[in-house]
Structure 1
Amino acid sequence: MNRRNALKLGMTALAGLYLSPLLGRSILLKSEPYELGPFEPSWESLEKYKVPDWFRDAKFGMWAHWGPQCQPEAGDWYGRGMYEEGSRQYNFHLQKYGHPSEFGFKDVINTWKADKWAPDELVNLYKDSGAKYFMAMANHHDNLDLYDSQYQPQWNSTRVGPQIDIIKGWEKAARKAGLPFAVSVHAAHAWNWFDTSKGADKNGPFAGISYDGTLTKADGSGKWWDGLDPQDLYAQNHPISGKPSGDSSVHSQWDWADGASIPSSEYCEKFYNRTIDLIEKYNPDMLYFDDTALPLWPISDAGLRIAAHLYNKSLKKNKTVQAVITGKILTEQQRKALVWDIEKGQSNQIEPLPWQTDTCIGNWHYDRDVYTKKQYKSAKTVIHTLIDVVSKNGNLMLNIPIRGDGSIDEQELQIVKEIGQWMKANGRSIYGTRPWKIFGEGPQQASTGKLKAQGFNEGQGKPYSAEDFRFAQKDNQLFVTVMDWPEKGVVYIKTLGSEAGYYTKAIKKIRLVSTGEKLQFAQHKEYLEVKFPADKPQGSFANVLEIFS
């Protein structure tokens, strides 16, 4: 039997022999069937994928990266950092909750009630700000499913914490608002990410006492979690990595290399089943994976099977594939099979295939310090990022951190509204556009940083000025965005000089998109000279010119 037929046999039976050729062993597991069709669970088959136009046209999405790690309001990766002795989050946890041997992350989940969550209100706010698709986090590395999860029946948001189906609420709100619905899935890494939970202090009165990551179901007698097995959450009933991840080197093990402990077949198959269950219950238009390539690749083909399932399911329903799947750190072949996602960073060139950057205005999980110190990204920074990304064939997915109770703060609300004001005035230059011959011009380009790992080069360049320009086109119409207001009242665009060789038609009219005002101009051999009005319009930190020939 060849591999393709073996996989079909294994995956079309609800219970049967799952063959894991990548792990080199077979094991009897219950497996959700994946949708059969032209897409098979291999890179060679998946590279036939074509990104749908809805995603290419949307350009701007909003993300609710929200779960129990937002409840402490102490920032990213709280479920891991609270077990790292001496760290900021460990010290915070001692003061707020007590020692992690007595009050662990499972107990943080128990304090999360989401009592101010209003999904319709938030999704409508994001839509009004200009977002054309919405994404909700389905689970994080903390391994709690935020939906009615058949394969994580104890540790999901309908059973513990708020005891509601978070994803169902988000999905209903997105569908009602007419927005494509996306989900982000991060739980494949709990196997190593939670390894700090079974450590112990090296110093102080609790030295040598294990944190709660070693607890089992039997330890819950008489406690609030009586009947629940902490190992179904922490997933630590296995040897730690041959090269322990310590406080930070888990990053180097993100692709299951560099001494990482390798997940079992059971763990991989459970993740696969959880994700198929998510797809079948909520029918997402897009899946975001916080993984190198696909989840558990290259140690398992679980991610390949998930991708084949979603593409075939979408094809069967829509006659063309309308689904989107994103992945990080992709090879050239993998970029054909998935949408390349760059975390907190931007490409420095026009990419031949559509891509996405994901970033947030603060930290991924809500952080009270960012609010107190007023350190959120401004609407200006967000819009500059969007314009630059769009000029290079990309989309922007923006997270607005949400408090544990389900609300956003007044600073965030003001930023979202300012983004919406600019988008209402200038959105024609964003939505449905495609890259032009070059993406831009100006001194800022020379200062941009190179991509590192998943991305992480945002904010490394010089601030944009009125000498920086970004280009995009739609229906043969050229848009030029001047990335600040020219205080001297005039800009000189070298790219549009009559002898520059880029724009070969005669320019007949130039209009400021935000106000509709016609601008005076003169096209010289070396540059296009455009005179600006005396009064600044609202949102003058990015000024779009529409060029008519």
Structure 2
Amino acid sequence: MAGISKRELLGASLGAGLAAGPFARAVAAAPLPAIAPGRFQPTVDSLSAYQTPDWFRDAKFGIWAHWGPQAVPRRGDWYARFMYVPGHPHYAHHLATYGHPSEFGYKDIIPLWTADKFDPEALMDRYAAAGAKYFVSMGVHHDNFDLWKSRHHRWNAVAMGPKRDIVGDWQKAATRRKLRFGVSEHLGASHNWWYPSHLYDQFWPKLGVDYDGADPRFADLYHKPHDEPYTNKPGSWYTNDPAYHALWFARIRDLVDSYQPDLLYSDGGLPFGATGRSLVAHLYNSSIARHGKLDAVYTCKDQGSGDFYKGACVQDVERGVLAGINPLAWQTDTSNGDWFDNVDDKFKTPPQVIAMLADIVSKNGNMLLNVALHADGSLPPQSETLLAELAAWMAVNAEAIHGTRPWTIYGEGPTEAVAGSFKEDGSYVAQDIRFTTKRGRLYAITLGEPAGATAIKALAQGNPHDPRRIRRVRLLGHGGAIRFEQTGQALVIERPDRLPTRHASVFEISFA
């Protein structure tokens, strides 16, 4: 743009509003993208009329396939970026395994992702049995590779790699099992995230030799050369380039229109100001046109770059929780291991996942859990075990999770989850209790396997939460009577000789 200085270009903010200046005026003057007609407009006031649909509030648990070509090297998340960063383990692995990134780049990893053991029907059976009520497919990660039959991008899974419509195959399998279907987009940050691919080694013997990201033949994968690096500073995740904003809109609208997802996830804040708001308005209006009511969910994060408008979407917290019971429905996104297959991975155990799920649900949240997949589409042994253990636990205890709402307090016990992203733990004990309610009944979930009697202080006689006398206590999955006593200090529940499930027990409590 003529007359815009580099300082103004790099300093423009993509937060709640763009800073005053020539760039801001140029973006503001650009026409908004075309969207489906309806009651939602790309304004904060309009989007703030959003109400979370009941299906999402009832679902509580979803499974995510955070899966793509970056699983091939088996080195975990962000491989495509860090293979271009000398000194990082991903760079060292790439050099030793594939060669120098000037000669063998990420574009050459993509054909290695053949997904030859990918069976979405068999996997979806496992996910549904494990208690998932919605499933989310990766749409596009920061690596700028579309996992659907993209109309606007040649780097897609139908044209190369597995040469099949990954998103479409997941959607068909989920729909057959009556699971709600979602897609995730991480494309907004891709432009700046790919910055290292345009660089070169700073030392011999490849000093100054460009990586393949600098080759103009592949600019549509790595993006055109630019001077907007991705850093941890506010405003750096998302580019200020209006042409990229338009491309992002076109591709994500294509994803939404082609697969009509019930849920769309953005990895970060809502990108690109009015362009991003236009996409969300389009998602909502399209949902109303199809269903006669707003049935769609858009999730984004109150962190990093981009916008977050409380009430206009569902807040997503990556690998963490919110503090206490949130009045609005929200979501934790996490993984049982690394985000992409990692040979050195440390996996969450089934009891950790179950305890985290109960903690999240007690606070009016949902858990979206990535279950790690190998590059070929098969499950690692740890993911196999997790799904089997979840299926056994949910077969007995699902009624305390699905369709529930929070009680007056979320729980009690010695372990307090620290609020915020990237602070998850999962190290709970049996004395940690979490509460959910449904149809006038209260569920008390122990976040560990009780070794003796369970004492719940919040249910002592005359407690302020519900002073009614407790009439009955039932241990889900246990056929016999459960002995209990409600004293002035606690509700004390005796443990039967045998517990019906491992890891966590659920007591259904009825009041007089």
1:57-72 matches, within 5 Å, as 57-72=58-73
Equivalences for residues 169-248 of structure 1 within 5 A: 169-217=169-217, 230-238=218-226, 240-241=227-228, 244-245=229-230
The answer to whether the aligner puts 1:278 opposite 2:244 as a matched pair is no
Q: Secondary structure at the match of 1:25?
A: helix
CA-to-aligned-CA distance 1:343-383 (integer Å, 9 cap, x gap): 0001220000000001001100111111xxxx211110100
SS of the equivalent of 1:336 reads coil
Q: How many residues were matched structurally?
A: 488
- CA drift at 1:411: 2.4
- Matches of 1:208 and 1:335 in 2, distance apart? 47
The answer to whether the 8 A contact 1:23-1:265 is kept is no
Name the residue aligned to 1:485: 449
What's the counterpart of residue 84 of structure 1?
85
**1:456 aligned partner:** 422
Letter in 2 for 1:385: M
Which residue of 1 is the match for residue 160 of structure 2? 160
Report whether the alignment pairs 1:403 with 2:384: no
Partner of 2:277: 304
Q: Which residue number corresponds to residue 221 of structure 1?
A: none
Which whole-Å CA distance do the structure 2 matches of 1:22 and 1:173 have between them?
45
The reply to whether residue 384 of structure 1 matches residue 355 of structure 2 is yes
Task: Give the superposition deviation at 1:537.
Answer: 2.9
Between the aligned partners of 1:538 and 1:546, the Cα distance in structure 2 is 15
1:68-113 deviations in Å (ceiling 9; x for gaps): 1111111000000100102110011011110001001111112211
Alpha-carbon distance in 2 for matches of 1:473, 1:22: 52
1:85 and 1:43 map into 2 onto residues whose CA distance is: 43
Match of 1:363 among 338, 348, 353: 338
Q: Does residue 37 of structure 2 align to residue 36 of structure 1? A: yes
Offset of residue 178 of structure 1:
1.2
- Residues 110 and 160, structure 2, Cα contact 8 Å, conserved in 1: yes
Q: What one-letter code is carried by the residue in structure 2 that aligns with 1:449?
A: V
Aligned match for 1:494, one of 446, 457, 461: 457
1:9 maps to which residue?
Answer: none
Residue 6 of structure 2 is matched in structure 1 by: none
Secondary structure of residue in 2 paired with 1:357? strand
- What is the match of residue 290 of structure 1? 267
Change in Cα spacing, 1:96 to 1:387, as seen in structure 2 (3 Å) is: same
CA deviations on 1:159-217 (whole Å, 9 max, x unpaired) are 22122111111111111111111000001111110001011111231121111110012
Structure 2 match to 1:3: none
Matched, 1:517 2:480: yes
**Residue pair 1:83, 1:197 contacting (<8 A) in 2 also:** yes
Contact 2:283 2:296 in 1 (8 A): yes
Q: Are 2:238 and 2:271, in contact at CA under 8 Å, matched by a contact in 1? A: no
Distance 2:280 2:55 in 1: 19
Alignment match, 2:433: 469
Aligned to 1:318: 291
Instruction: Say whether the 8 Å CA contact 1:285–1:322 is kept in structure 2.
Output: yes
Runs of 4+ residues deviating >6 angstroms: 26-32, 330-333
Distance apart, 1:476 and its partner CA: 1.1
Q: Which residue of 2 aligns with 1:134?
A: 135
State whether residues 391 and 435 of structure 1, in contact with CA within 8 Å, keep that contact through their aligned partners in structure 2: yes
Structure-2 separation of matches of 1:399 and 1:486: 28
Q: Among residues 469, 480, 484, which one is paired with 1:506 in the alignment? A: 469
Q: Contact 1:31 / 1:269 at 8 angstroms: preserved in 2?
A: no
Matching of residues 89-168 of structure 1 within 5 Å: 89-152=90-153, 154-168=154-168
1:176–1:472: structure 2 CA closer, same or farther, 3 Å change rule? same
Could you tell me the TM-score, scaled by structure 2's length?
A: 0.92
- SS of the residue aligned with 1:326? strand
Task: State the distance in 2 between where 1:282 and 1:261 align.
Answer: 25
- Could you say which residue in structure 2 is the equivalent of 1:25? 26
Q: Which residue of 1 aligns with 2:384?
A: 413
- The SS at the match of 1:158 is coil
Query: What value does the CA root-mean-square deviation take over the aligned residues?
Result: 2.0
Distance 1:285 1:236, change over 3 A: same
2-side partners of 1:304 and 1:27: how far apart? 13
1:252 partnered with 2:233: yes
Structure-2 change in CA distance of 1:105 and 1:398 (3 Å): same
User: Deviation digits for residues 406-450 of structure 1, max 9, x if unmatched?
Assistant: 1112221111110111011100000000000000011112xx324
Q: 1:91 to 1:498 in 2, by over 3 A?
A: same
**Who is 2:14 aligned against?**
none
For residue 336 of structure 2, what is the amino acid of its counterpart? I
Give the conservation status (yes or no) of the 8 Å contact 1:366–1:402. Answer: yes
Other structure's SS at 2:378 match: coil
Find the residue that maps to 1:443 and give its secondary structure.
Answer: coil
SS in 2 for 1:397: strand
SS of 1:470 mapped into structure 2: strand
* Aligned match of 2:324: 349
| Residues 31 and 273, structure 1, Cα contact 8 Å, conserved in 2 | no
**SS in structure 2 at match of 1:376:** coil
User: Structure 1 residues 261, 533: closer, same or farther in 2, change over 3 A?
Assistant: closer
Corresponding residue for residue 8 of structure 1: none
Aligned-residue offset at 1:29:
9.5
Q: Secondary structure at the match of 1:172?
A: helix
Between the aligned residues of both structures, percent identity stands at 40
Kindly provide the CA deviation profile for residues 50-81 of structure 1, in whole angstroms up to 9, marking residues without a partner as x: 00000000000000001111111110000001
Q: Matched residues in 2 for 1:324 and 1:91: separation?
A: 41
Structure 1 length as normaliser, TM-score?
0.86
Of residues 390-399 and 108-117 in structure 1, the stretch that sits farther from structure 2 once superposed is 108-117
C-alpha displacement of 1:334? 1.3
Q: Shift of the alpha carbon at 1:28?
A: 12
- Which residue number corresponds to residue 507 of structure 2? 545
Counterparts of 1:403 and 1:47, CA distance in 2: 40
CA distance in 2, matches of 1:480, 1:166: 40
Change (3 A) 1:389 1:481: same
Residue 499 of structure 2: aligned partner: 536
2:320–2:419 Cα contact (<8 Å) kept: no
* Partner residue in 2 for 1:18: none
Is the Cα contact below 8 Å between 1:498 and 1:523 reproduced in 2? yes
CA distance in 1, matches of 2:277, 2:27: 18
> Matched residue of 1:335: which SS?
coil
- What is the CA distance between 1:513 and its match in structure 2? 0.8
In the TM superposition, residue 281 of structure 1 has moved relative to its aligned partner by 0.8
Distance 2:39 2:310 in 1: 19
1:264 corresponds to which residue? Answer: 241
CA contact (8 A) 1:148 1:156 kept: yes
SS, match of residue 49 in structure 1: coil
Contiguous gaps of at least 5 residues in structure 1: 1-20, 218-229
Q: Cα distance 1:206–1:137, how it changes in 2: closer, same or farther (>3 A)? A: same
- Secondary structure at the aligned position of 1:44 is classed as helix
